[in-house]
Amino acid sequence: MKLLKTVARGLAVALAGALMLCTAQARSFDDIKKDGKIIIATEGQFAPFNYFQGNKLAGFEVDVAEAMAQKMGVKIEWKALSFDALLTGLRQDRWDMVIASHGITEERAKAVTFTEPHYCSGGVIIAKDPAIKGAKDLAGKVVSVQTGTTYLENVKKVASVKEIKNFPQDTDARAALVSGRVDAWVTDRFVAKASLDANPGAGMHMGDFLFVERIASAVAKGNTSLAGEVNKALQAILADGTYATISKKWFNEDIRCKAPQ
């Protein structure tokens, strides 16, 4: 009997331990503040939003995150991972926040908590043939997109498309267009603009918006303490001119979401 009890107690303790491991809690803003640093993950392959300049992360979102962290009184520890790993790792509490140009979608909002948007944009159609401009021009065409993106979701809705080729990185989706393996590439308007400016000889033309979206950071589902602080910091940089300066530096315009979005 005594032995049974000991075994039962041992099992109960082991079970409790296992449960604690499974429910590893997202860090609240208080935990992060005490630690002095917030862990933020991004991709680093989506210029001019997040990319590598040599071995250093740079871009609009890197600057926005640094400015917000400054308001929050914490330092950032950056992590760079493939796009499809970002929200998954957030759900496993491997980092506190993700900033990687994620559009706010209902589907994603089931799994993570979005902050307020830090810019508004949308997916545009880019092609070498200037006649391919709008959704209807994609009929019978082969289109490249980055895997796991809203570009893929929205191209899927265009029933007349012949084939969608997806690539782990947006830069590969672009390369497919440049080398003539696809007829069109769908990506963010500002990414397309920067890419066209940087490769004037590639013969790419920017067409219409396929859809528009609001872009936000994400924190673990229900981490309202952190989301609240990020929203406050975003509000502060939008109000004090910091955001405008960063936006002008990268885009020559202010890309914040305008009311009533």
Contacts 24+ apart (CB under 8 A), 153-162: 153/105, 154/123, 154/186, 154/210, 154/211, 155/186, 155/210, 158/210, 160/136
Rounded least distance, CB 221 to ligand ARG, Å: 17
Phi, psi of 109 (to 5 degrees): -65, -15
Residues that bind ligand ARG (CB under 6 A): 43, 46, 50, 83, 100-103, 146, 149-150, 170, 188
Q: Which is nearer to ligand ARG, 1 or 106 (CB)?
A: 106
Q: Which is nearer to ligand ARG, 46 or 243 (CB)?
A: 46
Rounded least distance, CB 59 to ligand ARG, Å: 10
Q: Which is nearer to ligand ARG, 101 or 242 (CB)?
A: 101
Q: Which is nearer to ligand ARG, 29 or 99 (CB)?
A: 99
Integer Cα distance of 71 and 38 in angstroms: 13
Rounded least distance, CB 154 to ligand ARG, Å: 9
Q: Which is nearer to ligand ARG, 146 or 223 (CB)?
A: 146
Phi-psi category of 53—alpha, beta or left, where left has phi over 0 and alpha has psi -120 to 50?
A: beta
Q: Which is nearer to ligand ARG, 29 or 44 (CB)?
A: 44
Rounded least distance, CB 150 to ligand ARG, Å: 4
Which pair of tokens denotes residue 261?
A: 């979005």
Rounded least distance, CB 107 to ligand ARG, Å: 11
Rounded least distance, CB 78 to ligand ARG, Å: 13
| Distance of alpha carbon 24 from the chain centroid | 23
**Alpha-carbon distances, residue 182 vs 142, 149, 179, 189, 196 (angstroms):** 5, 18, 8, 19, 17
Rounded to 5°, angle at Cα 174 from 170 and 176: 115
